[in-house]
Amino acid sequence: MLAKRWFALGALCLLDGVFSPASVLADSNAFYNLNFVQDLSLNLHLRHKFNGLITFSDNRKLVKPLVESHYFVSLERFLAVTLRLPLIIYGLQRTIPEPGIIARKTFVFCTVRNLRVEQESMFKVVHKMLEGRHDLRILFILNPGKPHQPSMEEIYLFFRWCWRYHFINVALTYQRIIQNDNDNFSTYDELFSYTPFPKISIQNVTDIGVAFKWEAVDVTDVKGYEFRVPVFQDYAYAFLLPNGKIYGIVGKLVAGFIEHCNGTLRVERTPDVNRFNYHNRTLTWPARGIIDIGVHPFTQLIQKSDEAEGIIVMSPTKTCLMVPVLIPRPLNRFMSFVVLNNGVLLVVILPLLMLGWQLLARNCSKGFFLAFVLFSMQPVNENLFRRLSNAYKMVHMAILLSFFILWNNRTGALTRAISLTSTPQQIHTVADFLRSPLRIMVTKAEVEMYFKNELLPKALEPRLLVVNSSTLMQHRNSLNTSYAYCASEGAWNIASFQQSRLNPPLFQLLSQNFCTSSTILHIPMGRNSPFRDAFFRFYMQSRLTGVFERWRAVSFKKAAHAGFIQVIPEDNSFVSMNVQDYMVFIKGYWICIGICVLSLICEIIWKNRVHLRFHW
């Protein structure tokens, strides 16, 4: 293993005269004629205007002299002389400082002995050092050190590796050596490149030769490149309708982006995945190069998020506790008031009056009757009143008066009950919560995320009810008010949509004392994905034009329409009546009036006839 060595050279003019134009890069046992590489590099430099060079090579000793001359040359010196650009040299050492100074227009050379990725450690170094620099132009020089020609399959696998790590501007050159006699052989320089879109395809550009140049890989037209997208039903962000269409705000965003760049969306249903086990199924796929982009966003709170890679697009979110709103029930309260006040009074007055009447007049049923007359505030008629004894008159008046007060009291209570909805003590603090009998329904994953790290108050831990994810979703989706739940922003958006027709709502979000700190939502995407910039631009456009908000609204409606989420219907048992409700009565009234007028007219006519007949 060679020691790390890197240096930047300006134009190495001093050495200029030393080299012969026919240079050689060779192993201790093989020649590599650099003529082709030299001409190619010069041509590429003319086209692409590089401003720096990097080499990856484990073979930087001076090489064997050329047959017909006595000069030695290494790739690095050769490049510095030919291209006169600053040069960074990397060996095989793995612990190299971050290549922060690599400019965008750097030309990378990499010599390898073998195209098989598992046998050549240089590939690992290149991948590590150039992570996220998928746009750099890289020339791989295959120098096996023996007359060996790679098979097409080896070349294909090599380019597959390139695409997996998102190196898109890659060329591969090697020398085909044909030995004629003992000391007479001829070499042919082969040159290959590839394009990832729509499928990885190798281009043999040998006949273009030194005139080769990299066509800019255009990620805004991928010509039908297939994007695999695994989807589970997550109504806040992405889900599939029964007809196979993807919806949800991120689902629409990703599908829109894929359409925008002329790709093909291949949706894969992942029925055994849900939001609570996402972290050890599909979450890390983009980071591992299995897929290009995911539709289920994640935050740093989710387990294994450190193994995932994503692109930040959405605003910060937090998870809060969602508790049922304690709903005041004015009419229930009124009924209990009536029962308590009037009922008790009636129960007291009734036997008293019955007893009194029985004693005075031996007529207890009269007392019963009188009690009810009084209760509905009807004074007894005059005849009856006169017949009462004086004492009883006083009692009657007194009771009548007290009932007058009672009735007013009752009317006042009714008014208050209808106009003032005195709200019961809602939950605002941990103490309030602990005073209520509520329990919090959570899954194991949520306990890990929110309570083990004390992101939510530890005092709530005795109140946790740990269930499996399907039970939790069943209860939360039907807005079962017997429990409290942890609600991420997405879950809360769904709940708000479900209860949007209710006033007062069923649940409230405790965004004061029961929240985790804010975290940022990432959409899964590899750190060095070539689609990052284009995707971000697409996202910004959708945001600025308002399409993004529309997707949100449309997605919820679609989910509701497909029966995935239920919107709780308006509770209209206590709505006020309007003119329409009285219309039947009003119509009936007018019909009655009409009939009356008609019969009056008939009667008048009838009478007049009879009168006339008399006079004849």
Beta pairing partners, 195? 201
Smallest gap from Cβ 199 to ligand NAG, in A, equals: 11
Smallest gap from Cβ 182 to ligand NAG, in A, equals: 10
C-beta of 85 vs 191, nearer to ligand NAG: 191
State yes or no: residue 148 binds ligand NAG (CB under 6 A): no
CA angle 422, 426, 428 (to 5 degrees): 140
What are the tokens at 214?
């990299």
Smallest gap from Cβ 84 to ligand NAG, in A, equals: 32
Which helix (H) or strand (E) segment holds residue 483: the answer is strand 483-487
Smallest gap from Cβ 217 to ligand NAG, in A, equals: 14
Which helix (H) or strand (E) segment holds residue 371: the answer is helix 364-375
C-beta of 57 vs 305, nearer to ligand NAG: 305
State yes or no: residue 234 binds ligand NAG (CB under 6 A): no
Among 68, 98, 153, 207, binds ligand NAG (CB under 6 A): 207
C-beta of 39 vs 432, nearer to ligand NAG: 39
Smallest gap from Cβ 152 to ligand NAG, in A, equals: 6
| Stretch in the footprint of ligand NAG (CB under 6 A) among 160-168, 218-226, 541-549, 578-586 | 218-226
State yes or no: residue 213 binds ligand NAG (CB under 6 A): no
State yes or no: residue 203 binds ligand NAG (CB under 6 A): no
C-beta of 147 vs 412, nearer to ligand NAG: 147
| Stretch in the footprint of ligand NAG (CB under 6 A) among 50-58, 102-110, 219-227, 580-588 | 219-227
Smallest gap from Cβ 477 to ligand NAG, in A, equals: 24
Smallest gap from Cβ 333 to ligand NAG, in A, equals: 50
State yes or no: residue 190 binds ligand NAG (CB under 6 A): yes
Q: Give which of 110, 176, 168, 175 is closest to 139, Cα–Cα.
A: 110
Q: H-type helices in 249-329, by residue range?
A: 249-260
State yes or no: residue 489 binds ligand NAG (CB under 6 A): no
Strands 264-269 and 226-231: parallel
C-beta of residue 12 within 8 angstroms of C-beta of residue 81? yes
| Stretch in the footprint of ligand NAG (CB under 6 A) among 52-60, 204-212, 227-235, 484-492 | 204-212
C-beta of 184 vs 576, nearer to ligand NAG: 184
| Stretch in the footprint of ligand NAG (CB under 6 A) among 26-34, 117-125, 203-211, 238-246 | 203-211
Site for ligand NAG (CB under 6 A): how many residues? 13
Among 262, 270, 436, 480, binds ligand NAG (CB under 6 A): 262
Kindly write out the interface string for residues 278-297 of this chain, putting x where it contacts ligand NAG by CB under 6 A and - elsewhere. --xx----------------
Beta pairing partners, 52? 106
Contacts of 407 (CB under 8 A, 6+ apart): 377
The 3-state DSSP class for residue 380 equals coil
Contacts of 391 (CB under 8 A, 6+ apart): none
Q: Which residue is nearest to ligand NAG (CB)?
A: 224
Smallest gap from Cβ 468 to ligand NAG, in A, equals: 14
Report the C-alpha gap between 514 and 323 in whole angstroms: 10
C-beta of residue 564 within 8 angstroms of C-beta of residue 239? yes
Q: How many helices (H) and strands (E) does the chain have?
A: 17, 18
Q: How many other C-beta atoms are found inside a 10 Å radius of the C-beta of residue 571?
A: 13
Q: Give which of 436, 464, 433 is closest to 449, Cα–Cα.
A: 464
C-beta of residue 295 within 8 angstroms of C-beta of residue 246? yes
State yes or no: residue 468 binds ligand NAG (CB under 6 A): no
C-beta of 43 vs 277, nearer to ligand NAG: 277
Beta pairing partners, 5? none
HSE-up of residue 537 (Cα within 13 Å, Cβ side) = 10
Smallest gap from Cβ 305 to ligand NAG, in A, equals: 14
State yes or no: residue 206 binds ligand NAG (CB under 6 A): yes
Q: How many other C-beta atoms are found inside a 10 Å radius of the C-beta of residue 417?
A: 20
DSSP category for residue 50 = -
State yes or no: residue 223 binds ligand NAG (CB under 6 A): yes
Query: What residues make contact with ligand NAG under the rule CB under 6 A?
Result: 180, 184, 190, 198, 204, 206-207, 221, 223-224, 262, 280-281
